[in-house]
Structure 1
Amino acid sequence: MYLDERGYLVLKTIVNNPSITGKEVEQSLDLSRKQVSYTMDKINQYLADNGLPKIERLRTGKFVIPVPVLEQYQTEDIGIKDSTYVYSDKERGALIFLILLCAREELSIYHFTSKLDISKNTFLIDVKKLEERLAPYGLGIHYSRQDGYHLAGSEFCKREAMIPIVRQILNMPNGQEAILEISQVDPELMEQVRGQISEIENKLKIRFTDERLRELPYILCLVLIRIKKGRILEDLPESFQHIAGTKEYSVMVEFAKEHDVAWQTEKIFFAAQIQISNYHRFQSDNLRSEVEIMEAARQVIDNFEKIICVNIKERDILLEALFQHVKPAFYRVKYHYHIEQSIVDMVLPRYSSLHAMVKRSMKPLEELAGSEFPDEELVYITALFGAWLQREGILDIENQKKRAVIVCANGVSVSNFLFFTLRELFPEIEFLTCLSMRDFTEYKEEFELVFTMVRLETDKLQFLVKPFLDEASKHKFREKVLSEINGIMPHEVDVTEIVRAVEQHAVIEDRDALVREINRVLNPVNVQGTAERTAEMKEQPMLADVLTKETVQISEEPMEWEDAVRTASAPLLAQGDIEQRYVERMVQIIREDKPYIMIADGVIIAHAGVEDGAGRICISLLKLPERIDINGYLNADIVIVLGTPDATNHLGVLFQLNEILEDPSALKKLKQAKQPEEILTIVQKEKEKSLC
């Protein structure tokens, strides 16, 4: 069902005024008691249809509004201070850790139960769960009658665990107040540290992300408190030792001096907190370490281009964006900092093939860091590359569309991913730029809408958005935004459910065609377009679909490299998959640019750009009897030609091709094949493995 104008108005009135009574709703909207009661029934039915809990009405006339409903529909800056917030077990665990970290006396169970307003049993269960969370850090929670509850483990491990927990608490309702109350940080110290962080930004010519700017003062203040209590770092991991002498170290030596901190280990630890910080932007002074990271990032882009067979436009801009993310990520990997609140589960289902390609591109940075980039870090780089590739196919926005900005407190990778995700989700809105909270206050361009991760003080219509949305969340969020803009809450028909119902009473010959036709009839054009684009992205062909008996050739005679490229291209030309200009462009690229196109020993893959005359995703393979010279810089006995009109939809094909070529046994069989059928058998086995 959909919600009519009256229902929409009543719902907005209630969620934006949680303490309002039914009588006050009647008076403010000039409705009768019966009308309000009837409308509430419709609202609750609407909420239930959208998977949300109902709004309850008490005998006192007040409403009990579930938190998910507030998050979904509340648009005014309503705080939670006037209501009672119940912490989750993980949130209570974070607060228990902070109490232990900041203990000034022996801690008994009473300290925790009274502070958190929980029972003894709840506390004991929470402690057990917290111990499981702290185990990877090498920490435990011990209790004795003499010493009470306390954290057991090295000082470095305690600080390592402290950083993500501080971040978690700050994201909780009234989190800042909780940290200040538990830690008893001197307000003057907090203000001093905030001022010093601003000076650090100026000296290093950087600008921290809003999220890091919010959490860094608390982290530094908590460290200073521990130092004053005598909790000094006795040693640091070997990977930290090179920090002395960096520009971050020089700046933090001054910071330490102002707080009478003389220990070298502490100065290094302070500098590390700056190095691992995410930035919105910074200006490099080309110090040796930054030059090395920049060069490694450049090599990553080179590798990525070779693997995905696409020449990225505006490489310098992408390199700068990658460098801004990679620099702090590099140090987090180098120092083995744990990363929590991972977005792996949100990105990999949609970008698994792209993620695999990015992973294979990362060797230069991993060699420099001396460690592999875990998926928890790598997925943000995947998001950055994914956003950049999406940028290739986005149409120009019409002037009459509403103009919007995005305010993102996270780093550049998340910002880019969110920017392009929203552009795809809302083709009827023109998204101008992605801003930090500080940049937002200085932004001068005209706009009507704000998509933000945190509530802002603005008179513009704003929408709270999470950086990564699954498909169900996208559907609900789209409904919410369009309802706000248009003043009525639409309810789109679930085409999948209709098709399921049809299947029970009829035989469907082409299910995809039926889905598209029902979409065309029932849903608005812009929704249909978005659905079809999403479907197209999911319908990537497999290698076995495009490498066929007609496109595999085995030659008994060697030939010159240009003839080899043209011979390999011939089946694709005959099928109309590519134009002659695509072939000429491939030859020109190899002749003039000499790109490194060898993807396995003796295997090269030739391709041109997405705008050079490829009609669809296609691939052909030519096997030669011996290795031939490729323009004087490579030698190959297998020539593969790839055509693609799109920057991303061929990634599944390349992923499967790489799986074959990286298997020594499969590659050997490929080179020993005497007939095209033998090669196709290898490809078919890879397809079956992918489907398992």
Structure 2
Amino acid sequence: MVLDKRRMSLLHYLYQQNGSIGMEQLKKQLGVSQRTIYYDMDQINGWLEQEHLDPIQKPYGKGFFLTKETVEALPEKLTLQDEWDYRFSPEERIKLTTLTLLTQNKPSSVQELKDNVQVSRGTIFRDIQQINKDMETSGLVLIHENSGYIVQGQEKDKRQVISDTITSLLTDNNNDHMKQKLNSMLHPAAPTAETNLFSMIQDEIAALEGVLNVSFTEDMFQLLVLQIMIAVQRKSHDLSLAVDKEEKKILESTRAFEAARELNDRLRGKGFHPLPEQEIYLLTIQILGSRVHYDPRTGSNMKAMEQLRMVIKKIVDDFQVTACIIFEERKQLEDNLFVHLKPTYYRLKYGLSLNNQYYQDIQTHYPDIYDLTKRSLSHLESFIGKTIPKEETAYIAMHFGGWLRRENQTSVKKYRGVVVCENGIAASGMVRAQVESLLPEIMITNTLSIREYNNQPVEADIIFSTSFIKQKQTPIIYLPTILNDADRESVVYRTRRLLKPDAAGFHNIEGLMNIINHHTEIYDKETLQEKLETFLSSQHSFKKETYKPMLDELLTKETIQFEQEVTDWEHAVRTASAPLLQLENIQETYVEAMIDNIRENGPYVVIAPHIALPHARPEEGVDKLGMSLLHLKKPVSFSDQDKHKASLVIVLAAVDNETHLQALAQLTEMLSNPGNTKQLLQAEKAEDILKLVTHYSLQGGE
């Protein structure tokens, strides 16, 4: 009996529920038909029976769930399952075959390749054709000899593809099976545990964490293990790195280089061939570029790291100006960004790739924060000398997104929570922020990696985890890293059912069903019960994602004014604010606060040539979200410098750190085009401006 990726996803989802779940929710979550779900459940039940576990439960009129015994046994079963119990997806299959071709020191036969991923001869030939196309883009050539297939090309190009492929396999899979498969491919089972290279290198990387006083993310930990296994077993003397003498000196000055040399000495002491010099430099770069959960060494004296700290200050400055917000806990945000951006700096500098599995989710659920982050990274690009890839931008956006949500929380905390997340400080921060936003009564006291969770006691009332973890005494809520509305509703309901089982609404489903059944005929008992549970859970303070209005909902005919000129910048701010005062979006105190800010901080409100964006804090007199625009024929000066003259004065009144971000992102996108700015400056009436505003609102800021 086999479980493919889709069935594994269904089994994982059932495992993550603290109770039953209805068919409608399963269809919505998995994006497949009812017929497909029932078929997959039959296959899963066959596998569960094979593993001597209870099948999926489905009492009449209730949803689907796993028994307590199955839930407790499942993590170990999934960890120990044999490769024959899992069917690889086409994407996984191609990546594994690519890895086989690149890591074997001999030609790979068709029989070996198809046996490795358990497919037919025809399927493996189609996969080979795709792999050949993929390799051409990396400067490699797949050729066929009498004894099989072999890859030709430079060693550094092969290593890059190997690294990219392993990274992708580790980050795209949330189960231990892929790690076991990679281990078995790169190092066939040793006769005894003592001679198992994989286990030995795992111990070495764990010791390396202790030496460097860092905690690598789970995928980075496994990536380092697998890359060292490859280095130990490959003849890599022809490996050439584009690292000059000066760069080598810089690498040699790091603690990571010293630790890499010590690790090499220990491997040599255990009978392995020592790594060549180039491998030591490559390992150093990989260590420096690995994402971490924490790194307390924020006071580095290295010149580049001191410069990076200054760059981070400028990034936060730019984000605050662009997003029209002020971070209260700015130093902690900068420290967290520093921990994240240190390895980012090395990854970009030395061309290491990053597979960000959250990029699409960030683009879908937080496009405004992503866009504002992207516009704040010019100093980082100048510092590194390279364009920041979208995957790296998305991780930085997760930092800002998590911080924006944290700063909105002021509720009394009644319960202690811990987040277990294997994907680093940005992802952990995002989960933490979403949980505290949804459940203000919970204070997240710590964020842990899976290895940290397994190796230390956890003091908390509840645990929130993005991955399978061993059940301890504390109850666990499983959740994705980026939550949609259905996820939010489910997390709130499941958490409060655990923490507040006696709260009104959680015990009266059966009573309601009995009353309804007594007075009418129920045609679909399961769906009705599911809808009632959803409704009652929504009565327990569940709040959907904050609505963020479009730009054309804020800039309207009523909030746009045209004037020939004003006496000075203070007069400009007062005039521009008039529509918002009249509409009761703001109080007079807000106008005074904006003027005081400019007096105190200078002309920071001039965000681009001809454009000023005055604003103040929400608590200084904002009653409703609003935006107004003053168009001046004669520009007004915010200082004695020409670059601080503005003809467009746009007042923003934000009610919090988030609600205004979509409209602001659309405004920023509109103003970033010089042609649009010229068109706005030449406008004669409100309708001329609203044409552009409507266009960028319909585009969603893209």
Which TM bucket (shorter chain)?
A: 0.7 to 0.9
Structure 1 position 579, deviation (Å) = 1.1
Partner of 1:580: 588
Partner of 2:683: 673
Partner of 1:137: 138
2: CA distance between counterparts of 1:620 and 1:205?
51
Partner of 2:368: 353
Partner of 2:476: 462
Partner of 1:447: 461
Q: TM-score, normalised by structure 2?
A: 0.78
1: CA distance between counterparts of 2:421 and 2:186?
29
Q: Which amino acid aligns with 2:237?
A: I
Identity %: 25
Q: From 528, 531, 544, give the equivalent of 1:533.
A: 544
1: CA distance between counterparts of 2:250 and 2:600?
44
Q: From 296, 308, 312, give the equivalent of 1:297.
A: 312
Contact persistence 2:584–2:624 (CA under 8 A): no
Q: Which amino acid aligns with 2:479?
A: V
2: CA distance between counterparts of 1:127 and 1:249?
38
Equivalences for residues 82-481 of structure 1 within 5 A: 84-145=85-146, 147-167=147-167, 171=173, 172-184=175-187, 187=195, 189-190=197-198, 193-226=201-234, 230-237=235-242, 242-246=247-251, 247=254, 248-256=256-264, 259=268, 261=274, 263-282=276-295, 283-284=297-298, 285-340=300-355, 342-399=357-414, 403-426=416-439, 431-440=444-453, 441-442=455-456, 445-456=459-470, 458-474=472-488
2: CA distance between counterparts of 1:459 and 1:661?
54
Task: Identify if the C-alpha distance between structure 1 residues 85 and 552 changes in structure 2 by more than 3 Å, giving closer, same or farther.
Answer: closer
Give the 3-state SS of the residue equivalent to 2:591 in structure 1: helix
Task: Identify if the C-alpha distance between structure 1 residues 562 and 207 changes in structure 2 by more than 3 Å, giving closer, same or farther.
Answer: same
Residue-by-residue CA offset, 1:530-560 (whole Å, 9 max, x unaligned): 3x532xx2x3222222223333233333412
Contact persistence 2:231–2:279 (CA under 8 A): no
Partner of 2:71: 74
Task: Identify if the C-alpha distance between structure 1 residues 240 and 211 changes in structure 2 by more than 3 Å, giving closer, same or farther.
Answer: farther
2: CA distance between counterparts of 1:688 and 1:174?
44
Give the 3-state SS of the residue equivalent to 2:419 in structure 1: strand
Q: Which amino acid aligns with 2:433?
A: F
Partner of 2:523: none
Structure 1 position 623, deviation (Å) = 2.9
Give the 3-state SS of the residue equivalent to 1:74 in structure 2: helix
Structure 1 position 263, deviation (Å) = 4.3
Contact persistence 2:166–2:223 (CA under 8 A): yes
* Unaligned 5+ runs, structure 1: 1-10, 17-39, 493-518
Give the 3-state SS of the residue equivalent to 2:629 in structure 1: strand
Give the 3-state SS of the residue equivalent to 2:366 in structure 1: helix
1: CA distance between counterparts of 2:89 and 2:624?
51
More moved, 279-288 vs 244-253: 244-253
Structure 1 position 598, deviation (Å) = 1.6
Partner of 1:636: 646
1: CA distance between counterparts of 2:671 and 2:116?
60
2: CA distance between counterparts of 1:48 and 1:424?
27
2: CA distance between counterparts of 1:255 and 1:44?
52
Give the 3-state SS of the residue equivalent to 2:656 in structure 1: coil
Q: Which amino acid aligns with 1:381?
A: I
Q: TM-score, normalised by structure 1?
A: 0.79
Q: Which amino acid aligns with 2:233?
A: I
1: CA distance between counterparts of 2:532 and 2:242?
60
Q: Which amino acid aligns with 2:370?
A: H
Q: Which amino acid aligns with 1:366?
A: E
Task: Identify if the C-alpha distance between structure 1 residues 49 and 342 changes in structure 2 by more than 3 Å, giving closer, same or farther.
Answer: closer
Contact persistence 1:200–1:251 (CA under 8 A): yes
Task: Identify if the C-alpha distance between structure 1 residues 313 and 133 changes in structure 2 by more than 3 Å, giving closer, same or farther.
Answer: farther
Structure 1 position 173, deviation (Å) = 4.4
Residue-by-residue CA offset, 1:423-456 (whole Å, 9 max, x unaligned): 3455675544322234434455342444342322
Task: Identify if the C-alpha distance between structure 1 residues 158 and 522 changes in structure 2 by more than 3 Å, giving closer, same or farther.
Answer: closer
Q: Which amino acid aligns with 2:577?
A: S
2: CA distance between counterparts of 1:200 and 1:305?
38
2: CA distance between counterparts of 1:601 and 1:452?
45
Contact persistence 1:616–1:644 (CA under 8 A): yes
Structure 1 position 203, deviation (Å) = 4.6
Partner of 1:515: none
Give the 3-state SS of the residue equivalent to 1:572 in structure 2: helix
Q: Which amino acid aligns with 1:572?
A: L
Q: Which amino acid aligns with 2:312?
A: A
Contact persistence 1:482–1:489 (CA under 8 A): no
Matched positions, count: 620
Task: Identify if the C-alpha distance between structure 1 residues 191 and 684 changes in structure 2 by more than 3 Å, giving closer, same or farther.
Answer: closer
Contact persistence 1:479–1:490 (CA under 8 A): no
2: CA distance between counterparts of 1:387 and 1:49?
26
Give the 3-state SS of the residue equivalent to 2:618 in structure 1: coil
Contact persistence 2:509–2:532 (CA under 8 A): no
Q: From 506, 519, 523, give the equivalent of 2:535.
A: 523
Give the 3-state SS of the residue equivalent to 1:53 in structure 2: helix
2: CA distance between counterparts of 1:183 and 1:135?
24
Task: Identify if the C-alpha distance between structure 1 residues 652 and 204 changes in structure 2 by more than 3 Å, giving closer, same or farther.
Answer: same
Give the 3-state SS of the residue equivalent to 1:533 in structure 2: coil
Q: Which amino acid aligns with 1:679?
A: I
| RMSD (Å) for aligned C-alpha atoms | 3.9
